[in-house]
Amino acid sequence: TKGTTYFVRAGNHIQLQKNPVDSTSGTGTAVNNSFGRTIFYTTVAGDSFDSIGYKFRSTTAQLLQYNPSLAADRPIPVGTKVNLIPG
C-alpha cells in the first residue's frame, strides 16, 4: 500500500517483480472450460509472466511448461493465446 515503509535487514534477500504490472495487463480475452476454469488467455499490451501469473494463480515455470513457444527472457507478444492448464 502507498505510504507503507518496510525494512530489510542486512543479509536478507527480497525478490522483486521482473516486470512491473501495467494498468492494461490482465484485460485480454479469457476462455473458460465447462467448470468455469480459465484455460486460455489472449494477451494484451502490458501483460507479463508476472501479471498473468498473478491474475490466474500460475507460476512463470508453469506458464513456460504449458507454452513451449514462450521464453522467460523475451516479452510475450500481444495477441498470444496462452495455455493456462496442461494439455
Q: Which residue has the higher pLDDT, 47 or 7?
A: 47
Which pLDDT score, from 0 to 100, does residue 67 have?
96
Task: Indicate left, alpha or beta for 11 from its phi (over 0: left) and psi (-120 to 50: alpha).
Answer: left
| pTM of the shown model | 0.69
What are the structural domains of the chain? 30-83 (3.10.350.10)
- pLDDT recorded at residue 2: 59
DSSP 8-state class, residue 28:
S
- 64, 52 in Cβ contact below 8 A? no
Q: What is the pLDDT of residue 80?
A: 96
Confidence of residue 16 (pLDDT cuts 50, 70, 90): low
Residue predicted with more confidence, 51 or 14: 51
Give 25-83 pLDDT, tens digit per residue.
778 888 888 888 889 999 999 899 988 998 999 999 999 999 999 999 899 999 999 99
